[in-house]
C-alpha cells in the first residue's frame, strides 16, 4: 500500500465476486442477496477514500465487507463489540478475531481472575508458556492474515503504537459506523478517576473553561505537570514489578494492570498537551464521591485528531450502517471532508408485511413524567408478551433502571443480562427452546437474532443521550447542527434496534415503539428516517 494512495481495482466481474465469496464455507454455495454485488463493487471500484453505505438491517453487510476485503487486499474488519466479533467468527470460518490481552487467560497461574494483561514475563524471569501465550498466538494469527476482525477500541489503541502490525491496510471496514464517533471521542479524551487523584495528590486545573487568554495555556501546563507525576509513579511501579516472583499472584496481576492503566493515561496526556484547544470541555465531577473524576473531551472531532487516531491507518475505508446522520453532521462527527465521501443508499428488499413497525405511544417517558408513565408502559409490555406468548423477543430499555422495572413484571420468560455476562446470556438465550424474552439496555446494534431467535421487539424508551452530559449540552446549544445531531442519533438507534430480529427475506419480526418521545421525534423529523423503515410503520 502506498501512503496517501486509495486502493481500488479497475473492474469486478461476476466471477470475481463468486471467487471472493467462495473462501467462506458458510456462504460459498449460496447466491448473493439482492444489492450485495452492487454494494461490493461500490467499495472496491471507488476512487474516493471513504465509501459510506447506508444499507438496511439484514442486507448482509458483513458478507459485503468481507468480500470487498478479499478483492482489495489487506483488510481489517472493525466492529464495536466482542459479541459481534464472536458472531463474525461463527459466520466467517478462518478469519481470525483479536481482543485486548485482558480477555485471554494467563497460563502461568490457574487463578480465574488472572489474564494475559498481567503477564510478568521479562528477562530474568522468563515464562515457559510464552510460545503458547494466548494473546500472542491470537495477535500473530490476526497480524499475518489478509482478513482479520478487531473491535474499535483495540484497533484505535493498537495503531497508536508506531510498530503496530495493524496500521497498513488496503481497506478498513467499519461496521455499524454510526457509533464510531463515540469511540473516537472516548479515546481522545482524558478521564482521571477520583481514586487516582487522591492517591497521587494530583492537583486540578485552575481554569474550568478554555475561554480567555489563560485557559488553554493553563490546561497544557497542568497536563505537563500531571504527566510528569504519573511518569514517576509508573517508573517506581516498574521497578517493583521487576522484583516479583516467577508465579503470578493476584496482587501482582493488579499491579500490572495499574501500570498498564498509567501508561495509557500517559499516552493520552501526551496527545492532550499536543492537541488541546478552546474547543475542548473540562468537567469536574470530583464531588461524586468514590465514582468521581475529572475529564477533558473535544466538543467535536476535527480532521487532525481523526487522522491521527483512525484515518491514517488505511488506504480506503468502507463505513457501513443501516443509518447515518445527514452528510454535514457525519462530516463534522468524523473529521472528514464531505468531498472525500462517496455516499450510497440501498433500499430494503424484504417484504414490508414481514417487518412491520407498530407505533403505539402509550407512555411519555420524559424525566419529569417517568414515575407516572411507567405503569402505562408496563401494562402494554405485559399485553405484548401475552400476544407473543409462544415466541422469543427482545426489549430495548436504554437503561438498567428501566430494565429492572420491566423485570418486576415477574414473567419467568424475561431474562436480563449484566454488564459483564452479556455474551454468555445472549448465547444462552439463543440456545434455549423456551420462548424467552431478552431485556437489554445495550443491544440496539450488532446483535443478530435470526428467525425464531426473535419474533418481536419492543422499544420501551427513546434512546436519547443524557442531557446531564456536558458534551451533549455543548453540542445542542452550540448551533443548529448540534440539535440535528442529537435527534438523528436517537432515531438512528431506534432504526438499528428494530432491525435486530429481521435478518433475511424469509424472516419476520414485528417491532413496537411505545414511547411518545420517539413517535413525536419521527413526526417532526420524518426525513431522518430511511424510506425502507418509514414504509413499514403503521
Q: What is the pLDDT of residue 302?
A: 87
H-helix segments, 200-302: 215-241, 250-275
Question: What are 458's three cell numbers?
Answer: 419492543
Query: Among all chains, which residue has been given the C-alpha cell 495555556?
Result: 217
Helix (H) or strand (E) run with residue 283 in it? strand 280-284
**Do the beta carbons of residue 78 and residue 172 sit within 8 Å?**
yes
Q: Give the count of domains, the chain.
A: 3
CA dihedral 425, 100, 270, 215 (to 10 degrees): -10
Structural domain contains residue 451 = yes
Q: Are residues 86 and 232 in the same domain?
A: no
Query: Among all chains, which residue has been given the C-alpha cell 468480500?
Result: 67
Q: What is the pLDDT of residue 2?
A: 36
Q: What is the pLDDT of residue 101?
A: 83
Structural domain contains residue 216 = yes
Q: Is the model's pLDDT at 122 over the cut of 70? A: no
Q: What is the pLDDT of residue 4?
A: 59
Query: Among all chains, which residue has been given the C-alpha cell 467535536?
Result: 300
pLDDT digits (tens, 9 = 90+) for 487-508: 999 999 999 999 999 988 899 9
Q: Are residues 492 and 505 in the same domain?
A: yes
Q: Are residues 323 and 382 in the same domain?
A: no
3-state secondary structure of 150: strand
Q: Is the model's pLDDT at 207 over the cut of 50? A: yes
- Of 385 and 103, more confident: 385
CATH number at residue 390: 3.40.50.300
Q: Are residues 401 and 333 in the same domain?
A: no
Q: Are residues 338 and 396 in the same domain?
A: no
Q: Are residues 176 and 270 in the same domain?
A: no
Q: Are residues 463 and 505 in the same domain?
A: yes
Q: Are residues 39 and 163 in the same domain?
A: yes
**CA atoms of 164 and 158, how far apart (whole Å):** 6
Structural domain contains residue 385 = yes
Q: Are residues 196 and 160 in the same domain?
A: no
Confidence (pTM): 0.83
Exposed/middle/buried for 219, CB within 10 Å: 0-12, 13-18, 19+?
A: buried
Structural domain contains residue 85 = yes
Q: Are residues 424 and 515 in the same domain?
A: yes
Count of alpha carbons within 13 angstroms of residue 436, beta-carbon side:
18
Q: Which of 320, 345, 370 is the last residue of a domain?
A: 345
**CA atoms of 443 and 423, how far apart (whole Å):** 11
Closest by CA position to 57, among listed 450, 523, 361: 450
Q: Is the model's pLDDT at 96 over the cut of 80? A: yes
Share of the chain above pLDDT 90, in %: 68
**Do the beta carbons of residue 335 and residue 491 sit within 8 Å?**
no
Please tell me what DSSP assigns to residue 118: G
Distances (CA, A) of 159 to 98, 201, 231, 256: 14, 32, 22, 21
Structural domain contains residue 5 = no
Report the DSSP beta bridge partners of residue 396.
440, 459
**CA atoms of 198 and 24, how far apart (whole Å):** 53
pLDDT band at 84 (very low <50, low <70, confident <90, very high): confident
Range of the domain at 125: 14-185+301-345
Q: Is the model's pLDDT at 432 over the cut of 50? A: yes
Structural domain contains residue 74 = yes
Mean of all residue pLDDT scores within the chain: 91
Average pLDDT over residues 140-154: 94
Give whichever of 188-197, 292-301, 456-465 has the largest mean pLDDT: 456-465
3-state secondary structure of 20: helix
Q: What is the pLDDT of residue 3?
A: 45
Q: What is the pLDDT of residue 19?
A: 96
Structural domain contains residue 258 = yes
Please tell me what DSSP assigns to residue 390: T
Structural domain contains residue 244 = yes
Q: Are residues 18 and 110 in the same domain?
A: yes
H, E, C per residue of 468-524: CCHHHHHHHCCCHHHHHHHHHHHHHHHHHHHCCCCCCCCCCCEEEEEEHHHHHHHHH
**CA atoms of 352 and 459, how far apart (whole Å):** 19
141-152 as b/e: b if 16+ CB within 10 A? ebeebebbbbbb
Q: Is the model's pLDDT at 367 over the cut of 50? A: yes
Backbone angles phi, psi at 73, to 5 degrees: 130, -140
Q: Are residues 412 and 515 in the same domain?
A: yes
Lowest mean pLDDT among 113-127, 397-411, 436-450: 113-127
Q: What is the pLDDT of residue 1?
A: 35
Count of alpha carbons within 13 angstroms of residue 352, beta-carbon side:
10
Distances (CA, A) of 213 to 209, 216, 296: 11, 7, 18
**Do the beta carbons of residue 263 and residue 277 sit within 8 Å?**
no
pLDDT digits (tens, 9 = 90+) for 2-44: 345 788 888 999 999 999 999 999 999 999 999 999 999 999 9
Amino acid at each position: 500500500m502506498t501512503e496517501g494512495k486509495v486502493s481500488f481495482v479497475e473492474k469486478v466481474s461476476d466471477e470475481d465476486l463468486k471467487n471472493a465469496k467462495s473462501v467462506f464455507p458458510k456462504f460459498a454455495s449460496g447466491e448473493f442477496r439482492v444489492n450485495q454485488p452492487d454494494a461490493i463493487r461500490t467499495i472496491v471500484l471507488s476512487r474516493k477514500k471513504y465509501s459510506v453505505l447506508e444499507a438496511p438491517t439484514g442486507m448482509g453487510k458483513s458478507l459485503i465487507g468481507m468480500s470487498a476485503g478479499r478483492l482489495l487486499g489487506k483488510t481489517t474488519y472493525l466492529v464495536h463489540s466482542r459479541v459481534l466479533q464472536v458472531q463474525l467468527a461463527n459466520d466467517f470460518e478462518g478469519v481470525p478475531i483479536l481482543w485486548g490481552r485482558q480477555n485471554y487467560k494467563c497460563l502461568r497461574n490457574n487463578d480465574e481472575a488472572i489474564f494475559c494483561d498481567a503477564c510478568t514475563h521479562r528477562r530474568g524471569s522468563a515464562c515457559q508458556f510464552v510460545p503458547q501465550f494466548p494473546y500472542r498466538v491470537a495477535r500473530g494469527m490476526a497480524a499475518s492474515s489478509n482478513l482479520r476482525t478487531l473491535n474499535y477500541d483495540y484497533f484505535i489503541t493498537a495503531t497508536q503504537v508506531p510498530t503496530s502490525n495493524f496500521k497498513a491496510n488496503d481497506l478498513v471496514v467499519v461496521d455499524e459506523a454510526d457509533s464510531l464517533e463515540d469511540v473516537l471521542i472516548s479515546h481522545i479524551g482524558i478521564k482521571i478517576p477520583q481514586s487516582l487523584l487522591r492517591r497521587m495528590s494530583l492537583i486540578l486545573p485552575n481554569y474550568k473553561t478554555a475561554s480567555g487568554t489563560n485557559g488553554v495555556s493553563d490546561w497544557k501546563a497542568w497536563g505537563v505537570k500531571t504527566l510528569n507525576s504519573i511518569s514517576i509513579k509508573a517508573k517506581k511501579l516498574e521497578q517493583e514489578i521487576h522484583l516479583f516472583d516467577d508465579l503470578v499472584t493476584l496482587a501482582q496481576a493488579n499491579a500490572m494492570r495499574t501500570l498498564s492503566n498509567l501508561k495509557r493515561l500517559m499516552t493520552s496526556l501526551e496527545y492532550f498537551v499536543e492537541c488541546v484547544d478552546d474547543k475542548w470541555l473540562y468537567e469536574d465531577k470530583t464531588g461524586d464521591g468514590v465514582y468521581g473524576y475529572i475529564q477533558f473531551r473535544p466538543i467535536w472531532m476535527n480532521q487532525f485528531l481523526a487522522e491521527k487516531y483512525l484515518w491514517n491507518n488505511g488506504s480506503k475505508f468502507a463505513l457501513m450502517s443501516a443509518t447515518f446522520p445527514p452528510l454535514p453532521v457525519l462530516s463534522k462527527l468524523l473529521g472528514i471532508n464531505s468531498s472525500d465521501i462517496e455516499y450510497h443508499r440501498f433500499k430494503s428488499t424484504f417484504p414490508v408485511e414481514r417487518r412491520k413497525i407498530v407505533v403505539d405511544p402509550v407512555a411519555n417517558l420524559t424525566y419529569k413524567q417517568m414515575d407516572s408513565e411507567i405503569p402505562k408502559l408496563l401494562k402494554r409490555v405485559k399485553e405484548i408478551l401475552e400476544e407473543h406468548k409462544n415466541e422469543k423477543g427482545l426489549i430495548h430499555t436504554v437503561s438498567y433502571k428501566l430494565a429492572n422495572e420491566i423485570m418486576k413484571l415477574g414473567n419467568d420468560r424475561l431474562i436480563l443480562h449484566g454488564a459483564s455476562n452479556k455474551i454468555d446470556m445472549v448465547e444462552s438465550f439463543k440456545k434455549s427452546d423456551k420462548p424467552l424474552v431478552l431485556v437489554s439496555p445495550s443491544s440496539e446494534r450488532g446483535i443478530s437474532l435470526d428467525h425464531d431467535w426473535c419474533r418481536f421487539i419492543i422499544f420501551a424508551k427513546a434512546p436519547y443521550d443524557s442531557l446531564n452530559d456536558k458534551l451533549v449540552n455543548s453540542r445542542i446549544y452550540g448551533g443548529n447542527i448540534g440539535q440535528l445531531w442529537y435527534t438523528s442519533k436517537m432515531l438512528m438507534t431506534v432504526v438499528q434496534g428494530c432491525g435486530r430480529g429481521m435478518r433475511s427475506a424469509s424472516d419476520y419480526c414485528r417491532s413496537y415503539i411505545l414511547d411518545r418521545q420517539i413517535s413525536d421525534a419521527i413526526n417532526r423529523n420524518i426525513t431522518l428516517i430511511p424510506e425502507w423503515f418509514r414504509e413499514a410503520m403503521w
